[in-house]
Amino acid sequence: MKLHGVRVVVLAVAAIALLAGCFAPPPDGWSTVITCPVTGPVRFTNDWHAPRAGGQLHEGNDIFAPRGTWNVAAVDGHTRLSQGERQGNGLWLTGNDGTQYFYAHFDDYWGGARDVVAGELIGFTGNTGDAQFTETHTHFEIHPNGGPAVNPYPTLVASCTNRVASSASSTVPSGQGFPGAAGAAVPTPR
């Protein structure tokens, strides 16, 4: 009888530990598979938690690219436009799995809030908000399950390096044509 009671306690402790792990934020080394959020040649470093004004820490990575470079949906999901003093023109993408991706400093959006597929054009690299005096870039964050931000660097390394740099691999919303073909014009934001 004592042995049975010990097994129940061990199983209960194991179950609690397993469930606790389901609700804990992922570690800094967490990575997921996404489409690189910025097309074409990009550069970025691991600037996660770099000091910012007012004692703040940087909650993402900055992806540097020329002004107007296409920003695309990292995953299938739904977009929501967001504007603010620090972020300028921002966008939240909630993936179908509940993970949220935040983009900031867009020069402009492509389309409004909508359902998107990975690789679909959503905006253009810029330097709006508190980035107005910096080099053009997209600030990018990952929030697993809608929780606290995690370091996106491992995901960006896996998704944005060793790839063919072409906007032709991205898509625009249906009914908008496909301007990514060689010699075609970049779409005008709407």
Q: 35-88: per-residue pLDDT in tens?
A: 999 999 999 999 999 998 889 899 999 999 999 999 999 999 999 999 999 999
Q: 152-179: per-residue pLDDT in tens?
A: 999 999 999 876 544 434 444 444 333 3
Query: Is CATH 3.40.50.620 the right assignment for the domain spanning 29-50+57-169?
Result: no
Which of 93 and 33 is assigned the larger pLDDT? 93
Q: 134-154: per-residue pLDDT in tens?
A: 999 999 999 999 999 999 999
Question: Is-contact 101 61, C-beta < 8 A?
Answer: no
- Global pTM value: 0.74
Q: 73-131: per-residue pLDDT in tens?
A: 999 999 999 999 999 999 999 999 999 999 999 999 999 999 999 999 999 999 999 99
- Largest separation between any pair of C-alpha atoms in the chain: 79
Amino acid at 110: W
| Spans of all domains in the chain | 29-50+57-169
Q: Write the CA distances from 90 to 101, 143, 168, integer angstroms.
A: 11, 15, 24
Closest CA to 123 of 143, 135, 137, 141: 137
Instruction: Classify residue 163 as left (phi > 0), alpha (psi -120 to 50) or beta.
Output: beta
Q: What tokens does 173 get? A: 């919303």
